């Protein structure tokens, strides 16, 4: 009798053969290197792909799902692999469905301000395509030059400008999705409020656990007529955070409000020379958009609030080149960390904006307590923190300390009334932390959603919800004749 | 500049309110009381009709119920954090009262502008939005957290009280427009917006052109009595825009009430089809068309007209949802069912296994 491992290997061979009948030999890979590469995202976890497939059409994705279900092998959808929470890392040997070849932009409709796009379209490519016509795709994660729209949908991605514009879910009007059994449905559309439950809303942010999205109807946002980008330098991080709270409290919702701390500013300046004020404890990057009178009025108020919170220096970008340089500094922050340490652990948590000042102070205390360095660059305007801990993963003790500190930071944020993740998702990274934020019944309700969509547990299993979470154990007797 | 009398504003009518059916009625005073009522109903098979302000009871298939559960005693503001722009409020709170309270600090939850007696829970459950969705998006985009009492009497919470959150499945959005399919909405956390500056209502000749020309107006509405753009912001800028649009404007926002008639329907089409939809609406029907959004609320007589409007809208990828119909109406309230109906049935079944909350109201008689 064959060992379990042997049986699995034989299964993989027939699975590969079935998939090759649909996709051809060149789009089903069992190459060890490819399986290794597709077993990881940009975060710290590693899994292993049984096979990697590269479908090009919706029908092919549906066939892949059908075949995988027949073989009882899970499927894990994947875009560019820029996720940080292990969402695209197979937890058990799975067919990794790389959607990068489904990268067409169809039907850019400027009258309706929409576009149908493939999940493999790169975020920035969409805005580049539509920008000459005066529109863009609003979600702008720092990885936007690499990440895909499908990945944005899976993680409900944000970015600096979602303070004003909202996250991906606010910019997705419709989805074509492959469900269990290879069923293909379209939910939502260009017309508002379709009848029935909002399946579109629950699919966005579901991290590939409910189905595979094969087409996305995105909303295009008009480019603002005018913009002011300003920078304020502070002697303490608390002063910068208080400025953010003050701006929101003054009734201004800027396009973006970003804070970088001293360590981060130094790392960026060493590399980019963007003219950021080195030596300041914190730098606030604020941007307001709209018509000229509005942006001037709001910029004036923001400068006043920054000065009232002891800003050492406030400057407004004088032209587009200076503005672009400031944003380049912000968006390349994570790359700049490479000069500090070979690895970094990047966190993503949220607190109510009124708790920013207190929370920031305590996050620095946690890092100091564990003897860890820490850099911060984050979406302060919506309370979305990104503490970044540089470390060397070849030192096992360092990694242990990093994890411990990271868990304490999450716990702190949840206790402050915050959330586990603002834009990176739960994936595998925070799956077991979900009980910090939700009770048993809350998690069971989420498991009900998973079970209704994916009864065979084919789609990206063991993500988002802790192992063992299941839909309600029905204690309530069901009356005779009731429909279930 | 021209103000005041020269602008013929639309009269703000009061929204229609349904009459309570002649059934026993209970008003739970706490979420625990509500949950045990639901658990008992699931055990006994007693069917419940959930009642807020009665302003959206015409939507969906008629519910055959044994008992009315009204949410009027669940009406507290649980927390309002003006500096964080969030509000946690119980379902039975009246929209008019909540918005009046928020306005004292220059904030809004962007709930419907002419709510009548509508409750927050009713607006969320019906999935309706105010006219200002043109600028701020629909109600579901402000749903940060929801607490539900499921059909079988469990209290579950999804989302969180922060403005940005990806922690599990988006139960708050799923609950929006669910019309009781997941249970009864107990409370919600809403994202708020500041309302700043000077307001103007501007009369426009060509509303479609006005929408295309303006950068993010609050709303551009077309009615048989005139078309209006609603602006807000820095005074100089608002006045300059109003003058550029034709110069007939008045200070403040005066919103039209919903049209009323034998049938009241919501025509939902792609935004670029709004002008065409208005042309398809027969003479004698009243309407409010939202440019840039794609929703036209229309009212008038004749089931054949509703069917004709629906055939046209569905041929253009849209929908016609009946908001009010006479009791003997032959018109289906939803039209062609959406895709994924089996999936919707499974979701509803998971939250309300005995199907006791507003049974049969959703598309597919779920």
Give the pLDDT confidence of B225-283 residue by residue, as tens digits. 999 999 999 999 999 999 999 889 999 999 998 999 999 999 999 999 999 999 999 99
Nearest to residue B191, comparing CAs of B158, B164, B156, B217?
Answer: B164
Which sequence spans correspond to the domains of chain A? Answer: 4-98, 105-222, 224-337, 341-427
Please give the structure tokens belonging to residue A483: 């429909």
- Residue of chain A nearest B196, judged by CA positions: A251
A167 with B173: Cβ contact below 8 A: no
At residue A207, the 3 state secondary structure works out as coil
In the predicted model, is pLDDT for residue B3 greater than 60? no
Note whether A105-222 and A224-337 share their fold. Answer: no
Span A311-320, average pLDDT: 94
Residues of B in contact with A383 (CB under 8 A): 84, 162-164
Residue A337, pLDDT score: 83
The residue written with tokens 């849209």 in the block is B318
User: What ipTM was estimated for this complex?
Assistant: 0.96
Transcribe B84-122 into DSSP letters. Answer: TTEEEEETTSBHHHHHHHHHTTTEE----SS-TT-BHHH
- Residue of chain A nearest B39, judged by CA positions: A476
Residue A4, pLDDT score: 42
Compute the count of residue pairs across chains A and B with CB atoms less than 8 Å apart.
287
Please give the structure tokens belonging to residue A117: 């796009």
Residues of A in contact with B351 (CB under 8 A): 445, 448
Which band of pLDDT confidence, cut at 50, 70 and 90, is reported for residue A483? very low
Q: What percent of chain A has pLDDT over 90?
A: 83
Q: How far is CA A301 from the centre of its chain?
A: 32
Neighbours of A46 (CB within 10 A): 12
Give the pTM.
0.95
Residue B256, pLDDT score: 93
Residue A9, pLDDT score: 59
Span B102-116, average pLDDT: 96
Q: Which residue has the higher pLDDT, A337 or B242?
A: B242
**DSSP type of residue B248:** B
Q: Which residues of A189-211 are buried (b: 16+ CB within 10 A; e: fewer)?
A: bbbbbbbbbbbbbbbbbbbbbbb
Q: Which of residues 24-53 of B touch A (CB under 8 A)?
A: 39, 42-45
CA distance B82 to B104: 10
Residues of B in contact with A434 (CB under 8 A): 167-168
Instruction: For residue A275, give how far its alpha carbon lies from the nearest alpha carbon of chain B (Å).
Output: 31
CA distance A58 to A71: 20
CA distance A289 to A229: 9
B85 with A253: Cβ contact below 8 A: yes
CATH, domain A4-98, list 3.30.43.10, 3.30.460.10, 1.25.40.10, 3.30.390.30:
3.30.43.10
Mean pLDDT estimate for chain A: 92
Residue A336, pLDDT score: 81
Nearest to residue A477, comparing CAs of B356, B354, B33?
Answer: B354
Topology at the third CATH level for domain A224-337: Alpha-Beta Plaits (3.30.70)
Nearest to residue A293, comparing CAs of B303, B241, B23, B280?
Answer: B241
pLDDT digits (tens, 9 = 90+) for B20-74: 999 999 999 999 999 999 999 999 999 999 999 999 999 999 999 999 999 999 9
For chain A, the residue count is: 484
Which band of pLDDT confidence, cut at 50, 70 and 90, is reported for residue B151? very high
Span A334-343, average pLDDT: 83
Residue of A156, A195, A450 lying closest to B321 (CB–CB): A195
Residue B205 to residues A172, B209, B210, B252, B259, Cα–Cα distance (Å):
32, 9, 8, 19, 21
Which pairs with CB-CB distance under 8 Å and at least 24 residues apart come from B137-142?
B137/A166, B137/A170, B138/A192, B138/A193, B139/B110, B139/B111, B139/B176, B140/A198, B140/A201, B140/B172, B140/B173, B140/B176, B140/B177, B141/A166, B141/A169, B141/A170, B141/B191, B142/B109, B142/B110, B142/B190, B142/B191, B142/B192
Q: A333 with A267: CB under 8 angstroms?
A: yes
Residues of B in contact with A453 (CB under 8 A): 343
Residue A73, pLDDT score: 96
Instruction: For residue B4, give how far its alpha carbon lies from the nearest alpha carbon of chain A (Å).
Output: 25
Residue A477, pLDDT score: 45
Whether residue B103 lies within 8 A of chain A, CB to CB, comes out as no
Residue of A187, A191, A418 lying closest to B317 (CB–CB): A191
Residues of A in contact with B173 (CB under 8 A): 169, 198, 201-202
A195 with B171: Cβ contact below 8 A: no
Which band of pLDDT confidence, cut at 50, 70 and 90, is reported for residue B8? low
List the single range of A122-126, A355-359, A447-451 with lowest mean pLDDT: A355-359
What CATH number does the domain located at A341-427 have? 3.30.70.2740
- Strand runs labelled E in A301-432: 313-316, 343-346, 349-350, 375-379, 384-385, 387-391
In the predicted model, is pLDDT for residue A3 greater than 70? no
Nearest to residue A41, comparing CAs of A72, A86, A74?
Answer: A86
Domains identified in chain B and CATH numbers: 48-195 (3.30.465.10), 198-324 (no CATH)
What CATH number does the domain located at A105-222 have? 3.30.465.10
CA distance A180 to A70: 11
B164 with A384: Cβ contact below 8 A: yes
Element (H, E) at A96: strand A94-98
Q: How far is CA B259 from the centre of its chain?
A: 14
B156 with A444: Cβ contact below 8 A: yes
Mean pLDDT estimate for chain B: 95
Residue of A196, A291, A423 lying closest to B237 (CB–CB): A291
Please give the structure tokens belonging to residue A336: 């700049």
Residue A474, pLDDT score: 61
Residues of A in contact with B153 (CB under 8 A): 476
A417 with B162: Cβ contact below 8 A: yes
Residue B347, pLDDT score: 97
Q: Which residue has the higher pLDDT, A274 or B190?
A: B190
- Residue of chain B nearest A477, judged by CA positions: B43
């Amino acid at each position: 009798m064959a060992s379990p491992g042997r049986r699995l290997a034989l299964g993989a061979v027939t699975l590969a053969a079935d998939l090759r009948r649909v996709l051809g030999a060149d789009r089903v890979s069992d190459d060890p290197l490819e399986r290794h590469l597709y077993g990881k995202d940009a975060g710290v976890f590693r899994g292993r792909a049984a096979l990697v497939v590269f479908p090009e059409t919706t029908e092919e994705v549906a066939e892949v799902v059908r075949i995988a279900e027949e073989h009882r092998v899970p499927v894990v959808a994947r875009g560019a692999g820029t996720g940080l929470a292990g969402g695209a890392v197979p937890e058990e040997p799975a067919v990794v469905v790389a959607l990068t070849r489904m990268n067409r932009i169809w039907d850019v409709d400027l009258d309706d301000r929409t576009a149908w796009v493939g999940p493999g379209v790169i975020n920035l490519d969409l805005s580049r395509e539509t920008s000459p016509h005066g529109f863009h795709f609003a979600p702008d994660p720092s990885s936007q030059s690499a990440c895909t729209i499908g990945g944005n949908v899976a993680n409900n991605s944000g970015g600096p400008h979602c303070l004003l514009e909202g996250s991906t879910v606010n910019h997705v009007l419709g989805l074509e999705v492959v469900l269990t059994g290879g069923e293909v449905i379209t939910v939502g559309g260009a017309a508002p409020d379709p009848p029935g439950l909002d399946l579109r809303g629950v699919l966005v942010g579901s991290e590939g656990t409910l189905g595979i999205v094969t087409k996305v109807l995105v909303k295009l946002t008009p480019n603002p007529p005018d913009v002011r980008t300003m920078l304020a330098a502070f002697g303490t991080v608390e002063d910068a955070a208080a400025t953010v709270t003050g701006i929101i409290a003054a009734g201004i919702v800027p396009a973006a409000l970003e804070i970088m701390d001293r360590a981060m500013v130094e790392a960026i300046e060493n590399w980019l020379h963007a003219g950021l004020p080195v030596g300041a404890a914190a730098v606030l990057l604020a941007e307001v958009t709209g018509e000229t009178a509005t942006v001037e009025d709001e910029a004036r108020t923001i400068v006043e609030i920054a000065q009232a919170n002891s800003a050492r220096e406030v400057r407004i970008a004088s032209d587009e080149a200076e503005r672009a340089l400031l944003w380049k500094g912000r968006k390349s922050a994570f790359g700049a960390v490479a000069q500090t340490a070979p690895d970094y652990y990047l966190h993503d948590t949220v607190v109510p904006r009124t708790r920013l000042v207190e929370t920031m102070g305590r996050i620095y205390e946690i890092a100091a307590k564990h003897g860890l360095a820490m850099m911060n660059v984050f979406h302060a305007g919506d309370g979305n923190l990104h503490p970044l801990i540089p470390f060397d993963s070849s030192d096992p003790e360092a990694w242990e300390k990093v994890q411990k500190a990271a868990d304490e930071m999450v716990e702190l944020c949840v206790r402050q009334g915050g959330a586990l993740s603002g834009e990176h998702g739960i994936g595998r990274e925070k799956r077991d932390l979900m009980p910090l934020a939700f009770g048993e019944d809350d998690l069971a309700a989420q498991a009900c959603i998973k079970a209704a969509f994916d009864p065979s547990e084919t789609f990206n299993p063991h993500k988002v919800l802790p192992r063992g979470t299941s839909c309600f154990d029905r204690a309530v007797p069901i009356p005779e004749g009731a429909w279930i | 500049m021209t103000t005041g009398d020269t602008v013929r504003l639309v009269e703000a009518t009061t929204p229609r309110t349904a009459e309570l059916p002649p059934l026993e009625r209970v008003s739970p005073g706490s979420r625990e009381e509500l949950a045990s009522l639901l658990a008992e109903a699931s055990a006994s098979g007693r069917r419940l009709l959930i009642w807020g302000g009665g302003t959206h009871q015409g939507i969906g298939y008629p519910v055959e119920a044994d008992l009315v559960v009204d949410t009027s005693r669940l009406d507290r503001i649980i927390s309002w954090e003006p500096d964080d722009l969030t509000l946690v409020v119980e379902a039975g709170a009246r929209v008019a009262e909540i918005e009046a309270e928020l306005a004292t600090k220059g904030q809004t939850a962007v709930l419907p502008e002419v709510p009548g007696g509508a409750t927050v829970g009713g607006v969320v459950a019906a999935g309706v939005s105010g006219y200002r969705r043109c600028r701020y998006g629909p109600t579901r985009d402000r749903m940060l957290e929801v607490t539900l009492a499921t059909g079988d009497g469990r209290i579950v919470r999804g989302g969180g009280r922060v403005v940005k959150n990806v922690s599990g499945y988006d139960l708050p959005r799923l609950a929006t427009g669910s019309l009781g399919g997941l249970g009864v909405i107990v409370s919600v956390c809403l994202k708020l917006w500041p309302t700043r500056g000077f307001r103007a209502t501007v009369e426009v000749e060509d509303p479609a052109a006005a929408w295309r020309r303006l950068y993010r107006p609050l709303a551009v509405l077309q009615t048989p009595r005139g078309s209006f753009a609603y602006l807000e912001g820095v005074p100089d800028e608002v006045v300059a825009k109003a003058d550029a649009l034709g110069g007939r404007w008045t200070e403040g926002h005066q919103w039209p009430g919903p049209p009323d008639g034998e049938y009241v329907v919501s025509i939902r089409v792609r935004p670029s089809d709004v002008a065409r939809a208005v042309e398809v609406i027969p003479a004698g029907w009243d309407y409010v068309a939202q440019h840039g959004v794609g929703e036209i609320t229309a009212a008038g007589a004749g089931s054949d007209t509703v069917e004709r409007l629906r055939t046209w809208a569905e041929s253009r990828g849209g929908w016609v949802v009946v908001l009010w119909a006479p009791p003997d109406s032959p018109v289906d309230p939803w039209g062609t069912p959406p895709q994924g109906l089996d999936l919707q049935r499974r979701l509803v079944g998971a939250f309300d296994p005995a199907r006791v909350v507003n049974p049969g109201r959703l598309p597919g008689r779920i």
